[in-house]
Amino acid sequence: MILSEIIGRVGVIRLNRPEVMNALCDRLMADLGAQLLAYDADPAVGAMVITGSDKAFAAGADIKEMKDRTFPETLLHDFIAPWETILQVKKPVIAAVAGVALGGGCELAMMTDFILAADNAKFGQPEINLGVIPGAGGTQRLTRALGKARSMEMILTGRLMGAEEALAAHLVARVVPLADLQAEALKTAEKIASLSPVAVQMAKKAVNLAFESHLSEGVRSERVLFLSLFGTKHQQEGMAAFVEKRKARFE
């Protein structure tokens, strides 16, 4: 249900259920989580990309698998819990989104570190049409990205948002033509993978603190992370390379 390969220093994971627009079933999410953890532990990988097809990043949780579940079942075997494996990943993960990223697909994309969107991308949380609400963080992460008014409108009506609107609304980092999406995502991930892994992981941790702490607490923690980087060879190499007008080598 997923296809994975390492290209250069980038672990690329492709969601692969084309017959159902990459609907996210339990098995796919378990495979995805296992592959993310494997790449996180693999020194040959410096960054990851999750992508889908040209038509669908993912059309959400698998409705056919979910439809007969009861409340006690969903409570006791919280089927969304494994979706959060991605939050344990220390290396950067980019979502390269073409086509639809709906419901759980949009939520999965929002759980990555940032989204690169093709110009045909469509984002939305249409769960309200199914008589439910987003269940994998959508009400929280969409609202942090878009603000209350737009997020509330999308979640209450199920309206979808195109790539340009998503860019203007700060949901995605960049929009590129569909034909360039994979190459751009790889190039971006490769750039990150070429940098100091220690600095990269601390940068990811520090930015995430902005969403999980108060300002003063976040700034204090950022200071500790920043100062601790002066204990690494990569700080010495990066700054020496700048002064000596050469390219830094982060080994």
Which amino acids are annotated catalytic? 61, 104, 107, 127
Q: Where in 186-225 is the site for ligand CAA (CB under 6 A)?
A: none
Which residue number, 12 or 98, has a Cβ lying nearer to ligand CAA?
98
Using CB under 6 A, which of the segments 16-24, 164-172, 177-185, 218-226 binds ligand CAA? 16-24
Does position 161 interact with ligand CAA (CB under 6 A)? The reply is: no
Stretch that binds ligand CAA, among 57-65, 169-177, 213-221, 230-238 (CB under 6 A): 57-65
How many residues bind ligand CAA, per CB under 6 A?
A: 22
Give least dist CB 80 to ligand CAA, A: 6
- Strand 161-162 vs strand 122-124: parallel, antiparallel, or unpaired? antiparallel
Check residue 86 and report its DSSP letter. G
Our CB check for ligand CAA shows the closer of 136 and 154 to be 136
Count other Cβ atoms within 10 Å, centred on residue 191. 12
Non-local CB neighbours of 122 within 8 Å, separated by 6+ positions = 99, 100, 101, 102, 160, 161, 162, 163
Distance CA 83, CA 77 (A): 13
Interface residue with ligand CAA, options 2, 15, 46, 62 (CB under 6 A): 62
d(CA 49, CA 58): 14
**Helix axes 138-146 and 148-157, enclosed angle (nearest 10):** 140
Asked if 99 and 121 count as a contact pair (C-beta separation under 8 A), the reply is yes
Decide: is 11 part of the binding site for ligand CAA (CB under 6 A). Answer: no
Distance CA 201, CA 149 (A): 33
If one asks whether residue 134 binds ligand CAA (CB under 6 A), the answer comes out as yes
110 binds ligand CAA (CB under 6 A): no
Asked whether position 52 contacts ligand CAA by CB under 6 A, the answer is no
Per-residue tokens: 179: 């034909």
Instruction: List residues binding ligand CAA (CB under 6 A).
Output: 20-21, 23, 59-64, 80, 100, 102-104, 107, 126-127, 130, 134-136, 138
